[in-house]
Structure 1
Amino acid sequence: MKNAPLVHGTETVHPVDQFRPIRNLIPFGIQHVLVMIATPISSVFLIGSALNLSAHLTAAILSAVFVFSGLGSLLQSVGVWRVGVRLPFVMLPGGAATVLFISIAQDTDLQTAAGAVVLTGIFYILAVTLFVRVLRYFPPLVIGTMVVVIGINLVEVTGYLITGRPDTPGFGDTKNLILGLITMVCTVLFFRFLRGVWRQLSVAFGLVLGTIVSAFMGMTTFSSHAKGAGFSLPTLFPFGVPHLDVVAAVPMLVWSIASMAEATGQTVINGEIVGRHVERTRDIPRVIRADGAVSIFGGLFGTPAMVTSGENIGIVRASGVRSRYVTAAAGILLILIGVSPLASILGGIPSAVVGGTAVVVFAIIIVLGIQMLARVDFTETGNLITCTMALGIGLLPVLIPGMYGELPSDVQTILGSGVAMSALVAVLLNLLFHHTGGSAKSSPAEPPVADVKERAGDYRV
């Protein structure tokens, strides 16, 4: 039976802890890498173009991002002492963190931007003790709402890989739309008609077939990316010694609080997918400490802040492969890519193919959030209003980008983050309805929901 627990004597090995055969680890690890490959490449290319970095410096940062993504994935998957959660996770440069890195560098300099990353990593580690004390205010009602917004936000971001950005040349190009659709359709067909291990690799097969189709359409750019590509190692202090300026780092420090809330939701939903109980005071600090440690060392090598990503959670759910050693294998592959020419060559995969694959994976995250919310009793007015307002306010900046553009940049950082706003609103309203006197019950005239046992103020996984 797929993913059945292994029994050794009287001990049962949970599927998360099963070390699968190498012949399975490698292809499943490759599948994780293929799905998330666009994020490190796009993040570094965005930094390089926005800050006018040389090709040599951009290549050094790309190498560092891959290496530290790999190290972070290994750390979260395998764990060292109280650092790393030992769940199937990958680590990537944060999207908002990349934008903040660029903003701080433009306002000050690259050394200060790198210093802000280091300070953020330190803040993660120092603040986590206080953060876990407020986790009781993150019940399934709050986390489920956050996960839905996270998934929608990811679909929106990766959708632009297919369409391009509005008001830019090539926006809505027909070839890209067709290529993205072909990739999605192929992925769905693989899920429908393949069986066993082959079905578990459907996402990877969809991406590979989409790439092959794009080659026939003349849309791949492997040859141009291969020019000048060679073996390299990350460079220590590529911008010079980081400058630790707390004032300049404030926007990134504020963002890190929202990042910790996002990590909470991702950890809980990952635990549910793999069937392992998440102990909030033990496991979530382990996730955040790993983010902090990797960000500190990554900042010394020029990377933006690194965060445990939800990008692979949909893969775990879709494939049914729950072993944390699969993402550990993905971490090793990322390190090898980072020191090899592959880091540049893989940039030749058309963005529409990556986007088509990612849309399927990230839409699964939305469904997982809905599945979590299905356990909440929405006949209670407090639960209904909390979810309604958190979704509405959290989705506004996702659906209307730039709506807070006239506000100060620091305020934009918070209000413009759908995940941060949904978390903030959900926590505050949960406090209002369930932690300030009696909770808001449904009226007696409303029919009870007999099979819903969890109260919004409880935290159970």
Structure 2
Amino acid sequence: MPDIDLPADADAGADAASASGPGPARKPGARQKDTHQKTARHPVDERLPWHRLVPLSAQHVLAMIAAPVATAFLISTTLRLSAGRTAALLSATLVLCGAGALLQSFGVLRIGARLPFVMLPGGAAVAIFLDVAVRYGAATASGSVLLAAVLLLLVLPVYGRIVRFFPPLVMGATVLVIGVNMVRVTVPMITEGVGTALVTLAVTALGFLLLRGVGRQMSVLLGMAAGTLVAVLTGTPFRPAPGDAIVALPHPFPYGLPRFDLLAALPLMVFALASLAEATGQTVLNSEAVGRPPHPARDVPRTVRADAVASLGAGVLGTSIMVTSAENIGIVQLTGVRSRFVTAGAGVLLILAGLFAPLTRVLTALPPPVVGGAALIVYAVIAAMGVDMLRRADLSQGRASTVLALTLLAGLLPVLAPQVYEPLPVWARTLFGNGVPAATLTAVVLCALTAPRRPSSRRPPPSTAGRSTA
């Protein structure tokens, strides 16, 4: 994540220009010049004709569709949902992704950054959601999502003070542990068809290694298509969910009324706080990609508000936390089209896909080993992202390497030796027996305790302002 100064929150920019008072007498031709300046649009606000908008929007959808599909199937397989409920969950997930893209692209009441963003289910948060669901029930997991979303909204006024507790060392270690935990959760999905899963994994991996641009971003879909073909050829039945409806409306509270348990929700709430740092980096990166000067104090809270609102919807509709993603930034850079109306169009296409019942019913027929094989490589990539984040931390210092070692110990011990936590009280098992919150809390506390103290009379040099060190 780039170095970022975080001034006090203020809405500035275009509105300030219109507030200027009367000026000196205008010269002849000045009105024509002013009119031209007023009509000139920034590329991010460019409205494209339909014949360009639709294919460009579809391109964004194809690049990100694998994430919501894989998430819905991972939740369905872990919770052993029926085919009909799986189709309903997939429909809800696609609708939430589309609504989130519309919020971020258009921005309403300071909800949404007005940048070309798409929204996805938080890949890392899915592991925590499923862990809570398995331990306490799916209704408690939905309640935990709602509590985490409310927490995000409550902490935004002090966002600048919280984000400094999540430097690259904390984020990298946490994401690495999340990737390992997700691999552990996903492995049971491939036991019914290891060969099919290996074909899916191999084709996906080759796509990541050999393809470029949009083709590379579609590697997961290509792998799932190849795995499904192999499964059908080897006798695996391909049975779509029953039903003849054309429109599928998402069902609220599919697991019953949500249950609120602060202790059970703590892992997701910690993840929500940690996501503030990632939202900062994504927003600055997207602003730079479209050529708009980054304004994190204004735009990051708007980004996070949209995440929180979409996550409230996720808690109601039975899925995990929704997060703004930078998956589409590569397409923006590849095509040179920076308009936020393109991602808004992608949002509309996602909502239509989620409401089109025949499509979601067909997708539910994908064999679990296919979904598991694709998910394995996706979450291995998440672990690799954690390693990349750790490169930004200065591990040459003894304190930083010690913090990393203890964080990995806290995060991996529940995976490698869960029996260690059996003698502990229930609250301690909940907090430390789950690798993700244990690693995050360990990293945050140790980084805060070992951070170098600067003399109060001296201000940090500009090159280090806004970044916490480990």
Q: Same fold (TM over 0.5)?
A: yes
Alpha-carbon offset, residue 292 of structure 1? 2.7
Q: 1:78 to 1:151 in 2, by over 3 A?
A: farther
Secondary structure of 1:90's match?
A: strand
Which residue pairs with 1:350 in the alignment?
367
**5+ residue gaps, structure 2:** 1-36, 456-461
Q: 1:26 to 1:314 in 2, by over 3 A?
A: closer
Secondary structure of 2:396's match?
A: coil
Secondary structure of 1:426's match?
A: helix
Query: Which digits, 9 at most, give the CA deviation of each residue in 1:324-344, with x for residues without a partner?
Result: 777655543442233222223
Q: Name the amino acid aligned to 2:203.
A: C
Is the Cα–Cα contact under 8 Å of residues 211 and 350 in structure 1 kept in the other structure? Answer: yes
Secondary structure of 2:58's match?
A: helix
Which residue pairs with 2:103 in the alignment?
75
2:254 matches 1:225: no
2:214 matches 1:202: no
Q: Name the amino acid aligned to 1:294.
A: A
Alpha-carbon offset, residue 387 of structure 1? 1.6
Q: Name the amino acid aligned to 1:397.
A: P
Alpha-carbon offset, residue 346 of structure 1? 0.8
Q: 1:237 to 1:424 in 2, by over 3 A?
A: closer
Q: Distance in 2 between matches of 1:264 and 1:454?
A: 21
- Which of 295, 306, 310 lines up with 1:290 in the alignment? 306
Is the Cα–Cα contact under 8 Å of residues 87 and 271 in structure 1 kept in the other structure? Answer: no
2:456 matches 1:431: no
TM-score (norm 1): 0.71
Which residue pairs with 2:121 in the alignment?
92
TM-score (norm 2): 0.70
Is the Cα–Cα contact under 8 Å of residues 38 and 351 in structure 1 kept in the other structure? Answer: no
Q: Which structure 2 residues correspond to residues 236-315 of structure 1 after superposition, within 5 A?
A: 248-267=260-279, 270=282, 281-299=297-315, 301-304=316-319, 306-308=321-323
Alpha-carbon offset, residue 402 of structure 1? 6.4
Deviates more, 1:377-386 or 1:209-218: 209-218
Is the Cα–Cα contact under 8 Å of residues 120 and 305 in structure 1 kept in the other structure? Answer: no
Q: Distance in 2 between matches of 1:352 and 1:239?
A: 25
2:361 matches 1:332: no
Which residue pairs with 1:145 in the alignment?
173
Q: Name the amino acid aligned to 2:384.
A: V
**5+ residue gaps, structure 1:** 1-7, 164-169, 171-175, 439-452
Q: 1:141 to 1:217 in 2, by over 3 A?
A: same
Alpha-carbon offset, residue 258 of structure 1? 1.1
Q: Which structure 2 residues correspond to residues 112-127 of structure 1 after superposition, within 5 A?
A: 118-127=146-155
Q: 1:321 to 1:152 in 2, by over 3 A?
A: farther
Query: Which digits, 9 at most, give the CA deviation of each residue in 1:333-358, with x for residues without a partner?
Result: 44223322222321111222223333
Q: 1:400 to 1:416 in 2, by over 3 A?
A: same
Q: 1:161 to 1:314 in 2, by over 3 A?
A: farther
Q: Name the amino acid aligned to 2:263.
A: P
Secondary structure of 1:231's match?
A: coil
Is the Cα–Cα contact under 8 Å of residues 64 and 234 in structure 1 kept in the other structure? Answer: yes
Is the Cα–Cα contact under 8 Å of residues 121 and 322 in structure 2 kept in the other structure? Answer: yes
Q: Which structure 2 residues correspond to residues 118-197 of structure 1 after superposition, within 5 A?
A: 118-163=146-191, 170=192, 176-191=193-208, 193-194=210-211, 197=214
Q: Name the amino acid aligned to 2:390.
A: L
Query: Which digits, 9 at most, give the CA deviation of each residue in 1:160-180, with x for residues without a partner?
Result: 4334xxxxxx4xxxxx22222
Query: Which digits, 9 at most, give the CA deviation of each residue in 1:113-133, with x for residues without a partner?
Result: 866654543333123334542
Q: Distance in 2 between matches of 1:32 and 1:428?
A: 35
Q: How many residue pairs are counted as aligned between the two chains?
A: 411
Q: 1:68 to 1:358 in 2, by over 3 A?
A: same
Which residue pairs with 1:441 in the alignment?
none
**Which of structures 1 and 2 has the bigger CA Rg?**
2
Q: 1:401 to 1:72 in 2, by over 3 A?
A: farther
Is the Cα–Cα contact under 8 Å of residues 174 and 386 in structure 2 kept in the other structure? Answer: yes
Which residue pairs with 2:383 in the alignment?
366
Secondary structure of 2:250's match?
A: coil
Q: Distance in 2 between matches of 1:364 and 1:113?
A: 25
Is the Cα–Cα contact under 8 Å of residues 269 and 368 in structure 1 kept in the other structure? Answer: no
Q: Name the amino acid aligned to 1:90.
A: M
Q: 1:138 to 1:279 in 2, by over 3 A?
A: farther
Which residue pairs with 1:5 in the alignment?
none
Q: Distance in 1 between matches of 2:331 and 2:198?
A: 19
Secondary structure of 2:111's match?
A: coil
Is the Cα–Cα contact under 8 Å of residues 152 and 273 in structure 2 kept in the other structure? Answer: no
Q: Distance in 2 between matches of 1:405 and 1:280?
A: 44
Is the Cα–Cα contact under 8 Å of residues 29 and 329 in structure 1 kept in the other structure? Answer: no
Q: Name the amino acid aligned to 1:290.
A: A
Q: Distance in 2 between matches of 1:183 and 1:273?
A: 32
Kindly, what percent of the aligned residue pairs are identical?
A: 31
Which residue pairs with 1:212 in the alignment?
229
Alpha-carbon offset, residue 29 of structure 1? 0.9
Which residue pairs with 1:445 in the alignment?
none
Secondary structure of 2:112's match?
A: coil
Is the Cα–Cα contact under 8 Å of residues 147 and 369 in structure 1 kept in the other structure? Answer: yes
Q: Name the amino acid aligned to 1:209.
A: A
Alpha-carbon offset, residue 393 of structure 1? 1.3
Deviates more, 1:315-324 or 1:140-149: 315-324
Q: Distance in 1 between matches of 2:145 and 2:387?
A: 34
